[in-house]
Structure 1
């Protein structure tokens, strides 16, 4: 792996979707860090997150979608209303989020969370 910023950016922009998923990791809250003994975990639809940076700082909400192409997360609390009344989610970078509750209905995700790293 190169340390040149040019090559770092290129690797990020040309990464396949299965590798982008790992880049979409979000830090766990202090309670979850102790419980699962890890610092971060990839975010997915259904998780609850708190926004810690930006205009929506302090907002908690459920993840409504994950945009792997643009490295952004759509959070329920971070939305504005369009003129016609429909919701417009503001995309947020995962580094500005903290996972507060993990969606564990998926058995494979549950195993991945409890796996030793």
Structure 2
């Protein structure tokens, strides 16, 4: 008869008499989906090799308090012609319109946020999308539909 070392209970060799396996309580379980890895290596690989369609959602920015109250949504994927306020980094406090979303480099470029190169030319500074707050959205029919769907989920 085998003996469990951690708890002194003896089990018979008959499998039908064994108690069910003890699982940890729900709040201590790490995984919610078997399809998503918890491995740091695999998560980094998935992040940095993500296609442009996935990078769009990963490059989301929070909305300002006024927009959050108006639309009932916390964040949106950033796009060209949105107006943003930089809230972190050396460019903190500057505002402007997004001139480009450079998904391959994971950066956005904002008008009037430039630096001077050695030869005197100006070059746009790349900003991380999470370090800005969207103050004005460029709305079209597709984006309005997304906002309506997102706000319905919150009700």
Same fold (TM over 0.5): yes
Write out aligned runs for 1:28-67 (5 A).
Answer: 28-67=63-102
Q: Which has the higher strand share?
A: 1
Superposed CA RMSD in Å reads 1.4
For normalisation by structure 1, the TM-score amounts to 0.92
The offset of 1:87, in angstroms, is 3.0
| Bigger radius of gyration | 2
Larger relative contact order, structure 1 or 2 (CA cutoff 8 Å, min sep 6): 1
For normalisation by structure 2, the TM-score amounts to 0.70
Write out aligned runs for 1:1-117 (5 A).
Answer: 1-82=36-117, 86-104=121-139, 106-115=140-149, 116-117=152-153
The offset of 1:16, in angstroms, is 1.1
- 3-state SS of 2:44 partner: helix
Structure 1: which 5+ runs fail to align? Answer: none
Aligned residues: 116
Partners of 1:34 and 1:77 in 2: CA distance: 28
Structure 2: which 5+ runs fail to align? Answer: 1-35
